[in-house]
Amino acid sequence: MKPQQQFRGSPEPSIPSTETRMRATTATSISIASDDRVFVLTGAGISAESGLPTFRADDGLWAGHRVEDVCTPKAWKRDPAGVWEFYSARRAAAQKADPNPAHIALAELEARLGDRFFLCTQNVDDLHERAGSVRLLHMHGELAKSRCGRECGRLPIEDWLSYRTLDEVGHCICGARTSSSLARHLWRGIAFRNNSPRRP
């Protein structure tokens, strides 16, 4: 097949809008047999369609923030209020977002397939849950969970509150101030990455 030629003076090829791409996608179907199992992995793009910024984009969540200042154990010890301010802002933004057609389509697919469907998401928001997904795993943790700041062993609790000051942050039964479960999840990931053997 010959490559398409671009002639001088011809208009630049237009990029289809999100709506056009969505119509094209929904018009394409796949066949799922009665004994097939479906695994779906979603990432930042599906939440971006709902208006949530990604972490790594030029204007994303890390813009204006050093990872070391909001996402490490040292940052938590040095400035717990600043860490909570960062994650509280993430919670507030997530609560304003709504599931988009992609979230809803996956929830509808799960409803049809039952336990033959499993969803794993790299996202920390709850848009999949609000769309109706049940069989899912958050591989990077959940934004709306808090846990004991001393790691006393109690399970994380659901917590959608946005804290304006450190005085507003709740405490564990053991007396320790709670911390963002997501922050601690990310700390472990960063520690693992930094301590993993380097490839030659």
Strands, DSSP E only, in the chain?
38-42, 117-121, 136-138, 145-148, 157-158, 178-180
Q: What type of residue is 197?
A: P
pLDDT in tens, 67-126: 777 777 788 888 888 888 888 988 999 999 999 999 999 999 999 999 999 999 999 999
Q: Which of 103, 128, 140, 185 is catalytic?
A: 140
Q: Which pLDDT does position 22 carry in this prediction? A: 45
User: What contacts 47, CB < 8 A, 6 or more positions away?
Assistant: 54, 97, 123, 125, 127
pLDDT in tens, 143-191: 899 988 888 989 988 998 888 888 999 999 999 988 887 766 555 544 4
CA-to-CA dists, residue 126 to 40, 55, 57, 131, angstroms = 16, 16, 21, 9
Give the chain's length: 200
Q: What is the pTM of this model?
A: 0.72
| CATH number for the segment(s) 37-195 | 3.30.1600.10
Per-domain residue ranges of the chain: 37-195
Q: Is 65 a residue of the active site?
A: no
